[in-house]
Amino acid sequence: MTAPAASRLPEVPETNQHYDQDPAVFEQFLDPRMKYTCALYESEADDLATAQETKLRWIADTLGLRPGARLLDIGCGWGSLSLYAAEERGCRVTAVSPAPHQRGYIMDRAARQGVADRIEVVTERVERLSVPERAHDAVALVGSSAHMKDIGQVMRLCWSALRRGGRLYLSDSCYRNTARHTEFAERDGSVFVRDSVFGGGEMRPLSVLVAAAEDAGFSIEAVRDLTDEYARTIDAWMRNVEDRADRLDAIEPGLSAKLLRYFEIANAGWGFTTKHYALVCRKAR
C-alpha cells in the first residue's frame, strides 16, 4: 500500500493518547479478544466474553466471510475482528489502525495464533489510506467511523475497495437525530469524549451515515438497533474497571476515574441523546 505524503494533512494527529496506550490498560477491563465496542448478548446468562464472541460471529456471518475471502478492517482496534476472521474463517485481512501499539499487539497475537501470514496491519489514518480498487470481499468499520472527520470520503473509499457484490458492515454510536446533535455536540461531556477519548472525529445521526453510504453508491441492506446491547457492554466494562482500579491507577494515576467518567457519560445518553446502530450495505453494481 502507498499513501500520500503526511504533510498533506498536518492538522490530523497520527492517533490519540487513549487508543495508543499500553495494551495492559485494556486487558484490565475488556474481554480476552480485546474487543473495544458493543457486544451482542443472546441471554441474561451471557458474560462479556461470550457476548463479544457472539458479536464477532454475527459480523462475520453478516459479511459472508469464508475461507480465502479478503477483509479490509478499517479502525481495527486491538484486532478482535481481524484475528477472528483470519483464525476462525480463514480470511486474508488488511487491518488498519493509526496506533502503533495496536499494530504491534495484533502482529504478536497473529504470530501466536499461527495466522501471521493472513494478516497485514497498516499503521495509517484513514484520511491518508490508499487501497487497491475492487480487491476486497468485505469491509468493516466496527465502532470506528466516529473517529473519522469526513464520512463521505470514508464511504467512497469503502465502495472503491469492494468488489461488486461485496458488503460493508458499519456499527457506531450516533446522535439520536439532528436536533440532538445540534443541542449536545458542544456540551462539556460530549467535547470530553470527542477530544480526550476519540481524539477528534464526529459522532453523527444515523441519517448522515445512511446518506453518505447511498451517495457513495451503496445499497442499504439492513439497520439494527444495538443501543441496549452497548449499555450492557459498558456496564460490564465499568464493573471491571472498578474491580481493577488499583492496577489501572498503577499504570497511570487517575486512569480508572477517567475511564469511569467516559463510560458514565456514554451510558447516560442512550435513548435520549444517543443510539448505537449497525448498518449493512452492499455494493450492488
**19-35 per-position pLDDT tens digit:** 778 899 999 999 999 99
Q: Quick check: 81 and 139 in contact, CB under 8 A?
A: no
Average pLDDT over residues 217-229: 98
What would be the CATH architecture of the domain defined by 10-282? 3-Layer(aba) Sandwich (3.40)
CB distance 96 to 73 below 8 Å: yes
> What share of the chain has pLDDT > 70, as a percent?
88
User: Is pLDDT above 90 for 42?
Assistant: yes
Length of the chain: 285
pLDDT digits (tens, 9 = 90+) for 224-262: 999 999 999 999 999 999 999 999 999 999 999 999 998
For 83-108, the pLDDT digits (tens) are 999 999 999 999 999 888 899 999 99
Q: With cut-offs at 50, 70 and 90, classify the pLDDT of residue 179.
A: confident
CB atoms within 10 A of CB 245: 17
Burial profile 39-68: b = 16 or more Cβ within 10 angstroms, e = fewer: bbbeeeebebebbbbbbbeebbebbebeee
Domain segments of the chain as ranges: 10-282
Q: How far apart are CA 247 and CA 105, in angstroms?
A: 20
- Contact present, 80 and 144 (Cβ < 8 Å): no
Per-residue pLDDT at 16 exceeds 60: no
C-alpha to C-alpha distances, 155 to 152, 169, 202, 228, 257, nearest whole angstrom: 5, 11, 15, 26, 35
